[in-house]
Chain A
Amino acid sequence: MGKTKDNPGPLSRRPDNSAFKQQRLPAWSPMLTANSVLPFFYIMAVVCVLLGVWLLITVQNTHQLKLDYTQAGSCNICFEKRKVRANANQDCKCTVVLNIGNTFKGDVFFYYGLMNFHQNLRQYMDSRDDAQMMGRTANLKNPSAYCKPYITDDHGLPIAPCGAVANSMFNDSFKLTYHSAEGSPDVHVPLFRKGISWYTDKNVKFRNPKINNETLTQVFEGTARPPYWQKPVYNLDPLDPNNNGFTNEDLIVWMREAAFPNFKKLYGVLNRASKPFTEGLPPGNYTIEISYNFPVEYFQGRKEVIISTISWFGGQNNFLPIAYLVTGCLVLLLAIILTVFWWKFGKNGQNMEE
């Protein structure tokens, strides 16, 4: 098997005396001795606890407000209305009221949340065509078979964007108004509706097809809008012509499927350019005017809005610091138990040293 050298000397077949072949490679043979394991455990415990405490303090300084508006207030009417599919194209608007006690300092983020919506179903997730959405003209009118059954509409026109994911896009919209305490006029809370998606999504993954300087409308001519949509894809954001087509940020955010059935997605970021929002969201009463389009009754889902500030590691998240604290305590406990065992019953230490 081994290489045999050609020269037929008396020791020609003697294996080489290399450290590798003789399995004598210099090596480090660590062993779990008390000297290394126990200090490690104590250090880990301390690190975890300290980290936990720090994270906890950080989390305490963030604010979050959650409001389930599925059937809240006047939205109940819309909720009932959306139960019937025939009303799908009828507008329904409702308002919910919320109160903010403390100033939401810094950047404030507006999310919409959906409960019990399975964006993570395999068939659902597959039902999209990234090639179409990255702006390949060839794929625009020839969507992938993955998009089934949302490839073509009843007239045989190709759907753009095709597939179940795009079709089920969340299409409620919100208008937030601030009611300051002293009877001053209500202020519309300005939101950035752009810059809410990943850079790569916005700039690489989702591109509009480009054909000889044609306008977006012309480009999408010959395609149908997804059946559940009220507006065609080139007209999703009437206010900003650049925020249309496949690069519409709401679409992009929606197309990034959530991993779990309860999720939130970013709707907008507070524009702090003008007063009184330069510091964040001031305390007081707010109303949200909701254009209630998305039906959740079919799948017994819930809808909510979430307003939140974030820290360096993200939004309000109580689990992480607590998990660290608990882990740190457990490790400490484990370390103590190990020490006791080692001290009392261990054979590794003093009596084996001879």
Chain B
Amino acid sequence: MFKKRPPPEEERRVRANDREYNEKFQYASNCIMTSKYNVITFLPVNLFEQFQEVANTYFLFLLILQLIPQISSLSWFTTIVPLVLVLSITAVKDATDDYFRHKSDNQVNNRQSQVVIHGSLQKEKWMNVRVGDVIKLENNQFVAADLLLLSSSEPHSLCYIETAELDGETNMKVRQSLSVTAELGDPNNLASFNGEVVCEPPNNKLDRFCGLLYWRETKYPLSNQNMLLRGCVLRNTEYCYGLVIFAGPDTKLMQNSGRTKFKRTSIDRLMNTLVLWIFCFLVCMGVILAVGNAVWEVEVGSRFHSFLAWDLPVDNFLFSAFLSFWSYVIILNTVVPISLYVSVEVIRLGHSYFINWDRQMYCPQCNTAAEARTTTLNEELGQVEYIFSDKTGTLTQNIMSFNKCSISGRAYGEVIDPMAGQPKRLDFSSFNPLADPDFCFYDNSLLESVKLGDPHSHEFFRLLSLCHTVMSEEKKEGELVYKAQSPDEGALVTAARNFGFMFRSRTPGTVTVTELGRPVTYTLLAILDFNNIRKRMSVIVRNPEGRIRLYCKGADTLLFERLHPCNHHLMNVTTDHLNEYAGDGLRTLVLAYRDLSEEQWEEWAENHRQADMSTDCRDDRLAATYEHIEQDMMLLGATAIEDKLQEGVPETIAILSLANIKIWVLTGDKQETAVNIGYSCKMLTDDMTEVFIISGYTVQRVREELRRARERMMDIRGGAEDTGGGRDLPSGGEKQQQCPPPPAPPSSTTLDSISGEFALVINGHSLAHALEADMEGEFVWTACACRAVICCRVTPLQKAQVVELIKKHKKAVTLAIGDGANDVSMIKTAHIGVGISGQEGIQAVLASDYSFSQFRFLQRLLLVHGRWSYLRMCRFLCYFFYKNFAFTMVHFWFGFFCGFSAQTVYDQYFITLYNIVYTSLPVLAMGIFDQDVPEQRSLEYPKLYEPGQLNLLFNKREFFICIAQGIYTSVVLFCVPYAIFSQATQGTGEPLADYQTFAVTTATALVIVVSVQIALDTGYWTVINHFFVWGSLCIFFSIMVAMHSQTLFSIFPQQFHFIGSAQCTLVQPLVWLTITLATVICILPVLAFRFLKLDLKPQLSDTVRYTQLVRQKKRKPAGRCMGGVRGGAVGVAEGRLGARGGSRRSGYAFAHQEGFGELITSGKNMRLSSLALANFASRHSSSWIDTLRKKKHSTTHPPQSASGESSPAPSYVSGSAPPLSNSSSLLGGSQDTPPEDGTRTPPVTLPQMAPGPHINTAPASVQVLSAGILTPTSVRSAGGDSSSGWTLSLGAVQEALIGWRGVAARISGTSSPGLPPNPRKQTTQCEMERQTDGT
């Protein structure tokens, strides 16, 4: 642990199988240690850490002060008891935390791996794996360290990995070893392998590796393509061997995980500031009293001492004042008692347990309950303003399901009646014994049509079973396993399988399909592979009868251009279907085929061969040949795949948005995928004014795009200016929409409030520029003006940077939620990190502060638990400071009467116990159990969340109010007994003004006053509250009586000299009259103030609470005012089904990578057994990997597509070409139009149809229009681009009302989708909101 760190590496040299050589460099071992202590170091290290806390040191200092008899005005135990308590509680907590860290470290470190030692495989724990070892990995195992792939079980030493833990992408990636090492098949050869790798030092770049392998006097360059990184999982590969290059903390995964920072909540920081202020205040009071002491010594004390000298060097009044200062510091330190920190921790712990115990955050499917892994952040959950969410696994389940399809103009898969409960799932097993039992489809008519032998349906599924790059694996007869490179393709092929067109197997030249139980083998003539520009893929097959047919599937925009003109009508119908699907947030693909004659095929094959052989511009020429053949196709239909969202995601996002929380999606996925998900979870909607897409590759370009976005916003805002500051208060606009005080709002108002809706989509490479120092301000400004922000293609580190940026610029509380290792840095950076548990990886959960298994639990975590925690913590703090000021300041006033001699007012036991016994439990009960409104209400009224974001409940102002109240109370508590007692006597004639009676009376009055105050503050009186409040009072009296009893005095006469005071004092009626008077004077003004505040300026929570109260009284069944959150959710869900968005988001937007087609036709990924059967054409033998690499690093431009995309990504193959930014030039508009204009209807781009068949769409919409169906969709598609002004119709307004923004209305339960909300029908919520805001 304390080993000296070696100097930073400049390069790394690793020799395989040579531990002695490698040990020279002292590379980190593969042992991971995240724990802090061990048994021996625990006590000293932990104490050292604890005393780094200012508060603890302060109390230690006080303790030392108290040991000096001259100034010790209190006994030492008043401090040491709480201090020891605090230190031990914290120590126990730290120890437990560290124990769990040890456990998880051990678990990881003790995973088994197989190391090749002396030619044989030996089991080793992960932690014993060294740099330079050769280890064997098996299928589905986690990679233990960063490895150089040496060889694998698969042909050509390929190996498939899943990098979900690293970057969140779940599609498989291929790695290949160098061909020289690939031959080292078995452990014997590997043991003798002694190559030396020289490479870069450890870094955190996931997609880059460069190094050289020296072996047998030859140099071989190494790239990332040869590396297996820790955290990846080996898939579809039986085994592979790798050489450990980086181990343990040096691995890219660990380098990327960022440092764990100790998170503090803003309340914590505020509290620390306040405590500092209080210390200053303390010093001031000390100084005042010390000066008073000096004056008193000169004026009075010196004379008194001349009468009665005692041990003090009285001749020096300055020294006396100095001592008095310290004495008062000791006495007055109770303004910040140490129990504050303990209580805060206890309350947070309580809140954490409530989170753990919440049944509504328990997921029965994966049997995981929510878990608060950090107990110190709860109240910050009530203040979140920005949520940064990962996509895959967080918003989505990462399950693609074949949801709907349109075959030859007929739509299938529509669930007819969504109200009729769960529709019956089709049972395929009777029809097709080989069907995948997990497949779900509900529309029986499709199955019927297949059974009836509808040729279109057959052709449709035949296409799906042929046109793909899926590999099949049939371990046993009928147990087919598809290895899909993207989940979309898997879903399509599985659908075809279930409908009777089962893809069985493939060889490089054939595809075998079982068509309705009959095996058919097609000759695979060519695969026209997918790429990001083409957005389609085709296969050319020859069926057993010898007919040649091209099957193509791809993005609608591109495919529609290439259809035969006779498809015109079908295309219109399909377009409508596509619009519907897009409106539901489904991913669509269009399917088409073309029959080829033998001559056509021969001719094309020749062209293709030539293009393939060509050395220059091979890609361009290939693309041109592909383009050539994919013409005049016949439309078959369209598929719609659902990227399954997690349950309740759109509803959660809607509610969180209503709570004024901004949600950003940060994903490693492609832009198209991300945008698609944005739509399906309703972050993006079609009624948004504009969706800006930033995808520039250069600094200038990004800057320009940002500037344009900003200008557009300003323009639109400019028009909306007269509504006045609608941006900062979106609630304002909303309110106007929902419950318009002037009936029938003018349409301009509506337009304005809608026009404030922007969204921003930014690409990773642009983000890199936007995050540069000079641009980040602009970026933040622009992004924060948008309601939704989606960042795609971002690296884990960029995610963290974005979070950091918002933290820095907005001073807002951020929450990051994610599920994979790629989210770890973001989770650690954000104020609050939430991990989605129950998935495979646990990295995110381990790094997170809270974990649960469903995204939708977030609303409960924030709106219920967070809000309550914040509320409770604020109330707790207010009360706590109040009670301690009331308690302590009495000493200050007494100082003026006791010659500033630091005499305490109370018995020292009272001082010790006041904070830890007499007043601690009621306030703890309030801090743990208090509720202002029931949990359902806080979900129904997301606006209730706002006080937390604005930090209204506890801030400096509130603090000063509390302090003032405390001081006022202390004045009353001192003055009333003083004024009454100075003359009074007991009923037996003895004077009351003796010190002990005064002390007892004041203490009793204090305890009673603060108890009444806590009773006032408590809003939710459970049995526990009652028990604690009354119990505390009882305990106070019993302890006091006990302390003043004879028994204790007779044992310790020096310590318990208050003997008999309680018994004697508390029987005096005068004492009780005094206490009553003091209580009345203390409490009634507070009561009056609270009443007035509630009466004149009620908060929303007060109103909700009041309504609740009234309703309880009237005993009316609930639900008239609010439909309940369930109703709201249903409403939203209906909206989802019902809304028909205008923009089509088609696409081959899947996580798909180019190159797999080539892989298949080259036969490289076929197993030898299958290869033997195949007539393997070797002409494609040029290494596909080389091509791939060339493509990746090529600087040559990909073929110019119709979209005019001309800026290829240097490093991303798949994400490189969002062909959107330049599309406006084709829009028939001016070249000056900013690119964003064209893209406001997201990615798809009608413009791509511009060159010719533009007519194709227009008539469709005209048709619809003329048919009188005035749907927003049609209006939108007819309207085309919005930059030329808003085609605003009633329909659009209506849609805007019932769409996104209408969620609130729907939650409140009256307005039904399809009807503009009727102001007359507005609900109580509205009216109350008006009342609230009306003030």
Q: Does A17 contact B (CB under 8 A)?
A: yes
B residues within 8 A CB of A315?
Answer: 983-985, 989
A2 partner residues in chain B, CB cutoff 8 A: 353, 356-357, 369, 371
Q: Which of B508-516, B519-527, B1068-1076, B1162-1170 contacts A (4 or more CB under 8 A)?
A: B1068-1076
Q: Chain A's interface: helix, strand, loop or mixed, by majority?
A: loop
A131 to B1102, CA, bound (A): 58
- The segment from A32-40, A92-100, A173-181, A208-216 that touches chain B is A32-40
Complex interface: chain A residues within 8 A of B1025 (CB): 27
- The reply to whether B980 and A319 form a contact with Cβ atoms under 8 Å apart is yes
Residue B1022 at the chain A interface, CB threshold 8 Å: yes
A308 to B986, CA, bound (A): 12
Given A23-B929, A120-B898, A259-B998, the answer on whether A346 and B1095 have CB atoms closer than 8 Å is yes
- How many chain B residues have a CB neighbour from A under 8 Å? 107
From A217-225, A238-246, A260-268, A280-288, the one touching the partner chain is A260-268
Taking CB atoms, residues of chain B closer than 8 Å to A1 are 352-353, 356, 371-372
> Are B903 and A121 neighbours in the complex by a CB distance under 8 Å?
yes
Can you name the residue of chain A whose Cβ is closest to the Cβ of B360?
Answer: A22
Task: Note all chain B residues with C-beta closer than 8 A to A23.
Answer: 354, 868, 929, 931, 935
Q: Which of A226-279 contact B (CB under 8 A)?
A: 228, 253, 256-266, 269
Chain B residues, CB < 8 A from A131: 1053-1054
Taking CB atoms, residues of chain A closer than 8 Å to B992 are 314
A200-B1046, A200-B1059 as given contacts; A29 in contact with B1105, CB under 8 Å: yes
Smallest CB–CB gap between B1105 and chain A, Å? 6
Q: Does A53 contact B (CB under 8 A)?
A: no
B961: interface (CB < 8 Å)? no
Interface membership of A26, Cβ < 8 A: yes
Residues of chain B in range 1048-1102 having any CB-CB distance to chain A below 8 Å: 1049-1050, 1053-1054, 1057, 1059-1060, 1063-1064, 1068-1070, 1073-1074, 1077, 1080-1081, 1084-1085, 1087-1088, 1090-1092, 1094-1096, 1098, 1102
Majority secondary structure of chain B interface residues (helix, strand, loop or mixed): helix
When chains A and B are docked, how far (Å) is the Cα of A338 from the Cα of B1086? 13
Q: Which residues of A contact B1095 (CB under 8 A)?
A: 34, 341-342, 345-349
Q: Are the CB atoms of A257 and B1021 closer together than 8 Å?
A: no
Q: Which residue of B lies closest to A323 (CB)?
A: B1077
Residues of B within 8 A of A148 (CB): 310-311
Q: Are the CB atoms of A258 and B990 closer together than 8 Å? A: no
Min CB–CB distance B1064 → chain A (angstroms): 6
Could you tell me if A338 and B367 are in contact, using CB atoms closer than 8 angstroms?
no
Contact A313 B987 (CB under 8 A): yes
Partner of B304, one of A107, A260, A269, A298: A298
- CB of A200 within 8 A of CB of B1088, answer no
Chain A binder among B81-89, B577-585, B597-605, B1327-1335: B1327-1335
One digit per residue, 1 when the CB lies within 8 angstroms of any chain A CB and 0 when it does not, for chain B 1098-1122 equals 1000110111111000000000000
A-B contact count (CB 8 A): 313
Any A CB within 8 A of the CB of B307: yes
**Selected interface stretch from A67-75, A122-130, A182-190:** A122-130
Instruction: Select one of A134, A197, A261, A341 contacting B1053, CB under 8 A.
Output: A134
**Contacting B303 at CB < 8 Å: which of A124, A136, A300?**
A300
Q: B1019–A29 contact, CB under 8 A?
A: yes
Please give, as numbers and ranges, the residues of chain B lying within 8 Å of A31 by CB-CB distance: 1094, 1102, 1105-1106, 1109
User: Are A16 and B357 in touch, CB under 8 angstroms?
Assistant: yes
Asked if A149 contacts B311 (CB within 8 A), the reply is yes
Q: Does A10 contact B (CB under 8 A)?
A: yes
Q: Is A334 an interface residue (CB 8 A)?
A: yes
- Complex Cα distance A353/B357, Å? 36
What is the distance, in angstroms, from B1265's C-beta to the closest C-beta of chain A? 44
Of the listed residues A29, A324, A349, the one surrounded by the most CB atoms of chain B closer than 10 A to its CB is A29
How far does the Cβ of A75 sit from chain B's closest Cβ, in whole Å?
Answer: 18
A314 touches B984 (CB 8 A): yes
Residues of A within 8 A of B1110 (CB): 353
- Complex contacts, A199 vs chain B, CB 8 Å: 1060, 1064
A341 touches B996 (CB 8 A): no
Known: A27-B1021, A168-B308. A14 touches B1092 (CB 8 A): no
Q: Which residues of B contact A124 (CB under 8 A)?
A: 308, 310, 901
Determine whether the beta carbon of B364 is less than 8 Å from that of A14: yes
Residues 121 to 180 of chain A near chain B (Cβ within 8 Å): 121-125, 127, 129-131, 134, 136, 144, 146, 148-150, 164, 167-168
Task: Say whether B1054 contacts A144, CB under 8 Å.
Answer: yes
Instruction: Note all chain A residues with C-beta closer than 8 A to B304.
Output: 118, 121, 298-299
Known: A313-B1069, A317-B980. Contact between A14 and B1105, CB under 8 A? no
> Given that A15-B359, A323-B980 are contacting pairs, would A310 and B985 also be in contact in the complex, using a CB cutoff of 8 Å?
yes
Of B352, B367, B1068, which is within 8 A of A10 by CB? B367
B987 touches A22 (CB 8 A): no
CB–CB B357/A122 < 8 A: no
CB pair B310 A25 closer than 8 Å: no
Q: How far is the CA of A142 from the CA of B436 in the complex (A)?
A: 97
Q: A313-B1069, A314-B985 are in contact. Are A30 and B1054 (CB under 8 A)?
A: no
A35 to B863, CA, bound (A): 31
> Given the complex, which residues of A lie within 8 Å of B1331, measured CB to CB?
347, 351-352
> Is A290 positioned at the interface, with any CB of B under 8 Å from its CB?
no
28 A-B residue pairings within 8 Å (CB atoms): A2-B353, A12-B367, A22-B359, A25-B1024, A27-B931, A28-B1020, A31-B1105, A33-B1106, A37-B1087, A37-B1091, A122-B901, A123-B312, A124-B901, A164-B310, A200-B1060, A205-B1059, A259-B981, A259-B993, A263-B994, A299-B300, A299-B303, A300-B300, A319-B979, A323-B979, A324-B1073, A338-B1088, A338-B1092, A345-B1095
Give the 10 A-B residue pairs with the shortest CB-CB distance, closest first.
A200-B1060, A298-B307, A21-B357, A315-B985, A259-B998, A122-B903, A25-B1022, A120-B898, A28-B1021, A109-B989
B residues neighboring A (CB under 8 Å): 73, 300, 303-304, 306-312, 327, 352-354, 356-359, 362, 364, 367-369, 371-372, 868, 897-899, 901-903, 929, 931, 935, 976, 978-987, 989-999, 1019-1025, 1046, 1049-1050, 1053-1054, 1057, 1059-1060, 1063-1064, 1068-1070, 1073-1074, 1077, 1080-1081, 1084-1085, 1087-1088, 1090-1092, 1094-1096, 1098, 1102-1103, 1105-1110, 1324, 1327-1328, 1331, 1335
Given A118-B300, A299-B304, A314-B987, 20 extra CB contacts under 8 A: A2-B371, A14-B369, A25-B1023, A31-B1109, A40-B1087, A41-B1084, A120-B899, A123-B310, A130-B1057, A136-B1053, A148-B311, A196-B989, A198-B990, A204-B1060, A257-B994, A263-B991, A315-B985, A331-B1084, A347-B1098, A349-B1095
